[in-house]
Structure 1
Amino acid sequence: MDSAVARDQALDAAERLFYGRGIQSVGMDDIRGASGVSLKRLYQLFPAKEQLVLAYLERRDLRWRQRLADHVDGHADPGRRIPAVFDWLGLWFREPDFRGCAWINSYGELGATSERVADQVRAHKRAFKDYLAGLVREAGLPAGLAEPVYLLAEGAMVTAAIEQSAEPATQAGRAARMLVEAYGGAAVID
């Protein structure tokens, strides 16, 4: 098995297991069993579990942000893009394997003991915040609106995971629409 295929198989298994069960409850032997990659090969690719966790978070970050951007970019009107973020969150929260935000979960498990994981989580959150700031700017809204929109989205993620409900996306989206309108954006309430 070539390195790229083995790496992809290991990361696929790590993503399923880490996201589904939690990082600390999954050992490298579990990854071996779920991926079909030998333990020796697994340790050649990822000499430490932390390296596998970082690769999992990096790959998930790219995929997560791309899925969000694909959905939001489907709205030509910049005034519809901020509400579209919350619409997408609602779709994500309804997925059968939704277990909350992988980065918040990872920070909760490892943030105090792994600075590299904490840095990866911060980088993901910073990129998400920057993305939202870009949407606010494109809509011609005051820059100060980006922070409350970000906090609404983050709060929706945490609450959706705890309550096992997509309703927080609807509620946070409604609040974001009211903020956009209060700051002079076009009426976006459907």
Structure 2
Amino acid sequence: MTAPTDDEIRARVLDAADRLYNARGIQAVGMDALRAEAGVPLKRLYRLFPAKETIVEAVLRRRHQVWTSFVEDAVAGAPTPRAQLLALYDMLARWFDEDDFRGCVFINTFGELGTVSPRVAEIVREHKAGFQGRVAELCAAACAPAWLAPQLAILAEGAQTTAAIAGTNEAAGHARAAAVTLIDAALGEDRA
């Protein structure tokens, strides 16, 4: 039996970190707990990730890829530009129903580390700007005015926070209904 490669160990550590950070929060999870969850010797853990912040950054990068895939899958399944915009809120409703939903990892991480870790804050800002940019692209494809995109993005962000606090997916439905109102105002109801 061959020993696991660094890439395999790195993936195990990131999987474990993602689970633990999501369940408990970043500051509540020490390197010993992470080592135990990943089943990795502490020395190897530190060789692959010299500091906890490097693990947090890697988890956020992976979550960005997952989020981007969720968005693109939702958009790909919608037949019109308007439906693509609304598909974002349907995606949120499905996500909010998952057993391990604890809110947006980027918002949660920023809340814990944004003021003490400039690099983490930068990653979170880049992620949020990327989502806002994608919403702007979808709005442009729908021939909507530029003002619509930031408003729809804020609805999605607020729904994530509200759903995490409330523990239900109702915020996605409320955000979707508000999005319909905004989209109809922007495009004119006759184009709906």
The separation in 1 between residues aligned to 2:41 and 2:74, in whole angstroms, is 38
What is the DSSP-based 3-state SS (H/G/I as helix, E as strand, rest coil) of the residue aligned with 1:183? helix
In structure 1, give the amino acid aligned to 2:124: V
Instruction: Compute the displacement of 1:171 (Å).
Output: 0.3
Q: CA deviation at 1:76?
A: 2.5
Matches within 5 A, 1:29-68: 29-68=32-71
Say whether residues 1:77 and 2:75 are aligned partners. Answer: no
Which amino acid letter does the alignment assign opposite residue 162 of structure 2? T
Q: 2:130 aligns with which of 119, 127, 131?
A: 127
**Runs of 4 or more off by more than 3 Å in structure 1?**
none
| Residue number among 139, 155, 163 corresponding to 1:160 in the alignment | 163
Unmatched segments (≥5 aa) in structure 2? none
Residue 71 of structure 1, CA deviation: 1.7
Report % sequence identity: 48
> Aligned partners of 2:134 and 2:121: how far apart in 1?
20
Counterpart residue identity of residue 86, structure 2:
P
Aligned to 1:170: 173
Please point out which of 114, 126, 139 is paired with 1:136. Answer: 139
> TM-score when scaled to structure 2?
0.95
CA distance in 1, matches of 2:67, 2:85: 17
Aligned length in residues: 187
Q: Deviations over 1:30-76 (max 9, x none)?
A: 11111111111110110000000000000111011112211221112
CA apart distance, 1:160:
0.5
Rounded Cα–Cα distance in structure 1 between residues aligned with 2:187 and 2:137 = 17
Deviation per residue, 1:77-114 (Å, 9 max, x gap): 11101110000000000101000000000000001110
Tell me which residue corresponds to 2:26: 23
Determine which of 88, 91, 101 is the counterpart of 2:91. Answer: 88
SS of the equivalent of 2:78 reads coil
Report the Cα offset of residue 14 of structure 1: 0.3
Paired AA for residue 72 in structure 2: A
CA distance in structure 1 between the partners assigned to 2:180 and 2:47 by the alignment: 49
How far, CA to CA, are the matches of 1:51 and 1:141 in structure 2?
40
- Tell me, in whole angstroms, the C-alpha distance in 2 between the residues paired with 1:98 and 1:123: 22
Q: Does the Cα contact within 8 Å between 2:35 and 2:41 map onto a contact in 1?
A: yes
Show structure 1 runs of 5+ residues with no match.
none
